Structure 1
């Protein structure tokens, strides 16, 4: 019987022939109590006639490398090693917008579950007269309240695209720079180019009785209110999903569970594994207390 292995990656999220790719330098402070720790991640805004996709460049490279490595293993025969390597970056979400209605979705995850969160709020802008030169573009100032933050955008009509990084759009030109009033989330356009012939959304690699499918996992489409509820449940009990998976394995379902502690050692005691999971999540949340959209996770 052929073994099907399914992976969901950020790889190949564009499928059209002509893509305008804009590069944004994203600087943010994960811990509001430690503003000296600034994370710098390059983000991509890919735009074509049907819409846009915003995602991490580092994550894209990481996923592409993983696909190449697994393809090499499969074609070479022998056992597969799915151990992740390299640096996937810190931004794991992506945002898509469809034209002309600008239907917006946030693709994110809670534990092992992938979600497609329907955005129901449109940025309402106040356009001001103030202008400044940002890079090679003359930009104009606009402000909005969005997602629990006050934002300042600088847009340029020299690029007549009503789009921008993350969930922001609706100005008379492309957003060149976007920052919140705390200065802890800043996105700045640093370059652009046109690319051709992006890869397919779903890639299949097959050899003998092994078939690996990348990009084929269907996200669960939900509302923002539903996502907020699920997030609160996760924060309250981070080990719940892990225990559910353990129960599936104990009931004879085809699920293999391995619990790894913060030092990379396997934990065989389920109760100890649950406590370790709770500890790791709580420590992570304590250090990442300044999300880009506070209203979504409060």
Structure 2
């Protein structure tokens, strides 16, 4: 009898350790002046008993490979450390986590070499409408909300008992199957799901004091939305500021160097030229990335 009780207890533990993974096809238009260019990213929404995490599949894979390569070089010792960008590192760099049962929500974003954990202070206020439609294999119902400077329409299903959804959205009587803003610039559609084993907690890589890699290592700085807006404004005005500061702090004997390639493939390493190139490239990229998912956060 004891063995049977132990067996059933073990099954209960295994079931509670599972993660419900939902796959969302995210179609978005980065440049409002070029609406013909629609980009697509596969996003993952992992839900377990403690909360959820929403992130890019491609970025997760690229980051995992990059960390493994960096750890290998650090263990080997030696002088130079080389970090190569993957061919497809993911187009969506942010991540969103929600903690149950109160749905405490955080948006994780990188700005230059810094990492920020932005606390969401607004709960989506939904208006549930009578319209229904079938999306994939699910019967869904319509709901609308205003959030982050956009008008959103969600289609949720009570067939999936999770009051969650993609990005920072939650609070409906079922999982959000499809989410679309009024301009059609951002559309997230659930295209599949599966149950997987519990994910190991992601441990932050500890880098030596003299090593700093964009997007790897270091702690996230928790900020409010207002604080992040000030950070973003400063970055837009001076994209190379962080790297100049890193160069200035290298007076302890640690050599800090930067290299970039120009549009014609020429490699430059002179600090002043590098900073000018970074500033030019960043400002050009921002002009073509003017249609963010949450305009109120960066305007």
TM-score calculated relative to the size of structure 2: 0.85
TM-superposed CA distance for 1:232, in Å, is 0.7
- 1:143-158 equivalences under 5 Å are 143-158=144-159
TM-superposed CA distance for 1:105, in Å, is 0.3
CA 1:75–1:234: 2 relative to 1, 3 Å: closer
Alpha carbons 1:202, 1:216 under 8 Å: kept: no
- Report the equivalent of 2:167: 166
- Report the equivalent of 1:295: 296
Structure 1 window deviating more from structure 2 (20-29 vs 239-248): it is 239-248
- Report the equivalent of 1:194: 195
Alpha carbons 2:125, 2:145 under 8 Å: kept: yes
Partner Cα distance (1:71, 1:218) in 2 = 17
TM-superposed CA distance for 1:256, in Å, is 1.3
Q: Which has the higher strand share?
A: 1
Alpha carbons 2:205, 2:218 under 8 Å: kept: no
Alpha carbons 2:115, 2:221 under 8 Å: kept: yes
- Report the equivalent of 2:137: 136
Q: CA deviation digits over 1:154-180, x for unaligned, max 9?
A: 000111110000000000000000000
Residue-pair matches, total: 276
TM-superposed CA distance for 1:257, in Å, is 2.5
Q: Which has the higher helix share?
A: 2
- Report the equivalent of 2:66: 66
Partner Cα distance (2:271, 2:42) in 1 = 40
SS of equivalent to 1:91: coil
Alpha carbons 2:257, 2:269 under 8 Å: kept: no
- Report the equivalent of 2:258: 258
Alpha carbons 2:50, 2:100 under 8 Å: kept: yes
Structure 1: gaps (5+ residues)? 1-15, 206-213
Q: CA RMSD in A?
A: 2.6
Partner Cα distance (1:56, 1:88) in 2 = 10
Structure 2: gaps (5+ residues)? 1-15, 207-214
Alpha carbons 2:156, 2:177 under 8 Å: kept: yes
CA 1:76–1:182: 2 relative to 1, 3 Å: same
Partner Cα distance (1:236, 1:71) in 2 = 34
Alpha carbons 2:179, 2:189 under 8 Å: kept: yes
